[in-house]
Amino acid sequence: MAETNRRILSGMRSTNPRLHLGNYEGALRNWVDLQNEGYDLFCMVADLHALTTMAENSGEVSRNAREIAKDYIAAGIDPAKSVVFIQSHVPEHSEAHVLLSMMTPLGWLERTPTYKEKQTDLGGAEREPYGLLGYPVLQTVDILLYKPYGVPVGRDQAPHLEIGNDIALRFNRITGKEVFAPYKYLIPEDENRAKLPGLDMRKMSKSYDNCIYLSDSEDETAEKLKSAFTTPTKLRKTDPGIPEGCAVCQYLRVYSPNWEAAWNEDRAGERGCMQSKKEATEAINEYLRPMRERRKELDGDAIEDILRDGAKRAREFAGATLAEMRAAMGMY
């Protein structure tokens, strides 16, 4: 009987030291659920990918990577069940990247929407590192080395995953060996969660300074909620609100079981924004409480031990796949 593949791999870049609720709802929550359903999860911090925009701050990228690994674990990734590791601790990724970069058509990379955006942000070819163009190739390596059944990511990553499956097929065709099988994209279905807005109703993002971080304290969360965006024309309790456009009401919908009643009262001018803010704060703090407790247990060097063990387990798997790639290419 064929062995069922239950492996899942995903990662996030270490451009920031902290993950926010948007990162959690958009991707990480799905990883935790899959882990708890019994999938074998490889959970990576993509420090090399962070270097594509932060090579001048490489030390920061590496420090961030530790903090992100702590956020993974605080969010419910269990290092006894899942493999938590830092990308650059598994040098097989770099070697496999060179091999696949020789087989990836330049046109596929130049057409990637994320590349075009970054290119504009960075200000042209003289400021743009060569590594940025290869971003999807490195991401493909991250995935293929673990031969996963599926890759749980946010919707924005779909173009990279498509290139990945194309590169996998191309490798098989060029070498004449079936080394890689296509993997599935596992994208969260609950749109209200996946699109959880920032405090100002724009996309939650560090650059907008509108985030609720997984590691924020109860008081920090309460302070942030106080100045969150609500219906601008609702000045008094009796003014009607528009919950669809109000950040606090969006949080209630995701985190409070009584959100429907709250939305109706908001629309009817039967509740004030202060009350909604208070309830949303309580609901979010309750939601984050287990994460805060797990984070407290992670002090000291615990994370270094976890990452060392994770890199060892990842290298065993990645090393075997890399050997298979070299053999398929006839490289001795």
Q: Which residues bind ligand TRP (CB under 6 A)?
A: 9-13, 46, 49, 139, 142-143, 151, 153, 157, 160
Alpha-carbon gap, residue 173 to 153, rounded angstroms: 27
Distance CA 213, CA 94 (A): 31
Instruction: Read off the amino acid at residue 74.
Output: A
Name the residue nearer to ligand TRP (CB basis): 69 or 228: 69
Record the tokens describing residue 46, joined without a space.
């993509």
Task: In whole angstroms, give the CA distance from residue 45 to residue 246.
Answer: 33
Minimum CB distance to ligand TRP, residue 128 (Å): 17
Query: Which residue's CB is nearer to ligand TRP, number 97 or number 160?
Result: 160
Q: How far is the CB of 86 from ligand TRP (least distance, A)?
A: 12
DSSP 8-state assignment for residue 25: I
- Whichever of 50 and 246 has its CB closer to ligand TRP, that residue is 50
Tokens of 41: 């999860």
SS3 at position 178:
coil
118 annotated active-site: yes
**Sheet (strand 150-152) strand order:** 83-86, 40-46, 7-13, 150-152, 184-186
Residue type, 37: E
Q: In whole angstroms, what is the distance from residue 298 CA to residue 200 CA? A: 32
Q: Among the options 118, 195, 237, 278, which is catalytic?
A: 118
Smallest gap from residue 116 Cβ to ligand TRP (A): 15
Single out the catalytic residue among 195, 206, 226, 237.
Answer: 206
Nearer to ligand TRP, 49 or 224 (CB): 49
81 labelled catalytic: no
Catalytic residue (one of 81, 116, 184, 203)? 203
Distance of closest approach, residue 90 Cβ to ligand TRP, in angstroms: 12
Residue 203 appears among annotated catalytic residues = yes
Task: Give the active site residues.
Answer: 118, 203, 206
